[in-house]
Amino acid sequence: MPRRSLSLPRPPSLLQCSTAAMLLPLLSLAFGAALSAAEILSLSQLNWTVQNQEGLIKVPAQVPSQVHLDLKNANVITEPLLGINDFTERWIVTDPAWIYTADLAPVLNQYAQGMNSSKALLVFYGLDTVATITVAGHPLAWVNNQFQEYVYDVSEYLASPLDNDTTLTVSFESAYLYGLNVSTRPDVESQIAIDFEWPGVREFVRKISSDFGWDWGPAFAPSGIFKPAYLIMLSEGVNSTALDSSPAAHPLLLSNAGGLFIEESSLEISKVGQTPIVRPDESADWVVNVTLALRSMHADPNPTLTVSVPELNVTSGPLSLASIPAASDASTFVSATFTIPSDVPQRWYPHNLGTPKLYNFTVTLSIAGLPPTSYTTRSGFRTVYLAQTPYSQEDVEQRGITPGDQWHFEVNGKTIYSMGSNVIPFDPFYSRISTDKVRWILESVVQSGQNMLRVWGGGIYQPSDELTGGYDFYSICDELGILVWSELGFSDASYPVNNFFLESIEREVRQNVRRVKKHPSNVQWAGGNEIEPALLLVNSTVGTLLPARYIDDFLLLFQDFLHDIVMQEQTSVAYTDCSTTNGVLSLDPYMLRLNNLTEGHIYGNAELYNYDSSQSFNYSTYPKARFVNEFGFHSMPSFYSWEEVLQSVDDFSFNSTVVMSRDHHPPALGLLWPNPLAPVGQGEMTVAVEQWLPTPSTSDSNQTFAQWCYSTQIFQSMYMMSEIAYYRRGSGRGENNLGALVWQLNDIWQGVSWSAIEYSGRWKVMQYGLSNIYSPVMIYPFWTPETETLEVAVTSDRWDTVTGTAQLTWYDWSGHALNTTSLAFSVPSLNSTTVFEAQGLDNVLPAGSKAEDVWMHLNLTAAADGQTVTHEQYFVPVSLANANLVDPQVKMTPGPDMTFTLSAQGGVAPFTWLDHPSGTVGYFADSTSGKPLNGFYLVPGMDRTVQFIQSVALSTVASPSPANFVVRSLWNNTHI
């Protein structure tokens, strides 16, 4: 597969604008904090309006914001997530333009006083998406990429307003109509993409793909100045009032002191000689690189930069930089590097394997004519390596590894098991996402034992801080010790490869890779989501009818173009073309394997979606893979989440029109509403519950609906736990599986989805299931009904051998213990051990018992990393739909500090579940161990006490009454 030239013909301009303007998509959101009015003005401090093209609607607006939110705040529309507003508010998307305007008169007056010695920069950290920018009557730029940062020198425009125009205007075109215009041009080649809702456009528009619809969310296709934006005044003099001996908390804030603006700042820590395709030398010195994009009012042929790490008492001393011109109309990149001995810093680890140690790095710039200025940024010392090369013959023969390629991560020289989930956008409207909400979800990740998140490529490049991104993501992952698999903004489509498109995405990718590389949490860049397998599937299905250009263009973009950009911008993490992928034939040069497969070998990574619930627990349907980066099954949100959006009592039904309208699986493939394919997705959940659980049906319609919601979550959790257990056990089998990332972590709205956490932050049953199955040492019953074989395995992700005792206890549904077996075990590093195996029901069940009448409680106690680890699981030899359950007569007794003691007065209560009241966000934890606990088997005589751990920041009810907490179990599916 030879690498291809990028000298492609350039199409005519889509609008009358310069090439530079095309490359400068404008992203604009104002930061709410009051900064120094003299040097840095947040555009949030201006008075804004937004109006449609005809001027029939004109209302006050905010920055950062998006049109839907400003219309909601002005009572033109109601909350977009209510009811069927995703349908009724479509008119906002198709209005030709929405125009944001602010009066710059106060700024112009201030600027006129010092314009001879100052420059003005207009900084947008994000515009959504296609917009024309006008300053004081002067056309400034046309932009069309949501994922870029843009900086403009507007000094001349502020100095000479055209026709006394004192406004700043950002006029947003309809991204949908723009996409239609592009896609229908005669010189634009057609592409392959799934039309989830708004059809035929997302592959042509550099905007969040899921804004146009996805199978788990709405299609609001919003527009607006969605990230912080600033007007920065650079003066030749020094603002003495802004001088401070302490370093600034962010590079942007250095502009307060006068004549310097840092447009981009990056820091990368690696090992001497490290490249992403070779295991780093763990004994080598650390290399610290700082790269800055500067605009300075003062020229200096010999500037210097000093980097210090105060906690380590380490300083680089002055490091020489390339010369810096006096220029405000373009940035100058400068870079400096120094080394730190390997053993000086403490290493950063994911939270489940060590301490995520971070250090403050102080960067000081010395430029002639300016006082030394410093800022502080945080990072950590770690190495990450993605193993993708073939297993050796020795591995095959001595370890029993199935031939093929490796595909796993190594951190600080040690192989890890990656356990986690996939992140989608936190809200349909980026501008209202809060750090508090994101932090809660990320803390929930840690509480559930996950060590890795995959940032899905159909969403947004997640931000690094509030000042430029509106909320924080990566820095919180650094702090909490969460590994992040990052993806470029491409998903489930083929994409154009003309120069117009490539120039835009090159700037997009370079900016985001440079920004993210300081974060020790980041472990790789993938080119996009599911594109390689999708094209290979289409190619194998359509055969020779599919033009070869689709594969050729895919290789051009994802094998060559994006790979080279990412590798040029950083050296510490790997690039892979796609999630999912068959891996590589070669890393140098980078050549994809595609369908060059050898039968019986394992390559790349895998995913699984099987909606035939009769096969959900058939292990032969699970992939034998090195790493499984997506797998899932959909479920309903809770009754409490439905209360947030349903507006009629008639809507509270499993198959009501409104509920079904919020099931986008399978997708509508267009604009038909309600989704004509929703009955398929609803039916899959229905059949799953009916096959595996008591079918919800009571005389109370609200209870029945609530039990249906709860039951779909139970099945989802059971299925995902089964898959995760299977994949984790594979760490000790031929596939040597070393990664399982469930789809998906979070919700974007209140509707049917694959999530573990609902839109408000409320945990689903699966989130507690993940807390269980991602235990560092786990026990699990693998049941094969066709052969009546039960195999109980203990699996460990620890780096050292783990020893302990497993206990298997049979109970009847009245809660009587029938027999108990205690088994000692020892599990090697990253491995699995079978502790019990039996075949035939007579050898599996307690003597004289029927399968419908009994169940097994499995638990273990192990010594790992100097601590005691416990874990429990349950085995039912038949479907719970056929089990002879007994009325559990569950009693809930409130205690101090939001604790609740649960006892079963009758029989066993499978999947005992506590719900916290509306308006509260939190989770339940075992009062003794502190581990998350909910959805458990409650046995007579074995009371459980849990505590409600509340998020004060997200809860609208600060002090909920214990009387408003609800307990349910599967018994309530059929009984009041």
Give which of 834, 66, 748, 7 is closest to 441, Cα–Cα. Answer: 748
DSSP three-state, residue 695: coil
Backbone torsion region of residue 703, taken as left when φ is above 0, otherwise alpha when ψ lies between -120 and 50, otherwise beta: alpha
Q: How is residue 66 written in tokens? A: 């998006």
Give which of 824, 719, 828 is closest to 770, Cα–Cα. Answer: 719
DSSP three-state, residue 261: strand
b (16+ CB within 10 A) / e for 678-706: beebbebbbebbbbbbbebebeeeebbbb
Cα 178 from Cα 175, distance rounded (Å): 5
Distance of CA 676 to the CA centre of its chain: 29
Give which of 838, 641, 836 is closest to 749, Cα–Cα. Answer: 641
- Phi, psi dihedrals of residue 783, rounded to the nearest 5°: -110, 125
DSSP one-letter code for 556: I
Spell out the long-range contacts of 316-321 with Cβ–Cβ below 8 A and sequence spacing 24 or more.
316/288, 318/366
Q: How is residue 761 written in tokens? A: 């932050």
Give which of 891, 756, 77 is closest to 441, Cα–Cα. Answer: 756
DSSP string, 514-538: HHHTT-TTEEEEES-BSHHHHHHHH
Q: Looking at 149, 197, 487, 530, which residue is catalytic?
A: 530
Cα 941 from Cα 284, distance rounded (Å): 58
- Phi, psi dihedrals of residue 399, rounded to the nearest 5°: -100, -10
Q: How is residue 111 written in tokens? A: 């600027």
Is there a catalytic annotation at residue 530?
Answer: yes
Q: Which residues contact 696 (CB under 8 A, 6 or more apart)?
A: 689, 704, 707, 708, 711, 973, 974
What angle do the packed helices 701-729 and 678-692 form, to 10 degrees? 80
Place of tokens 């010092």: 114
**Which segments within 828-935 are labelled E, that is strand?**
831-839, 854-864, 867-875, 890-895, 899-904, 909-915, 922-926
Are 23 and 32 in contact by the 8 Å Cβ rule? The answer is: no
**What sign does the CA torsion over 702, 707, 710, 713 have?**
negative
Q: Are strands 304-309 and 314-315 parallel, antiparallel or unpaired?
A: antiparallel
End-to-end CA distance of the chain: give it in Å, rounded.
65
Are 954 and 783 in contact by the 8 Å Cβ rule? The answer is: no
**H/E run at residue 639:** helix 639-643
Cite the active site residues.
530
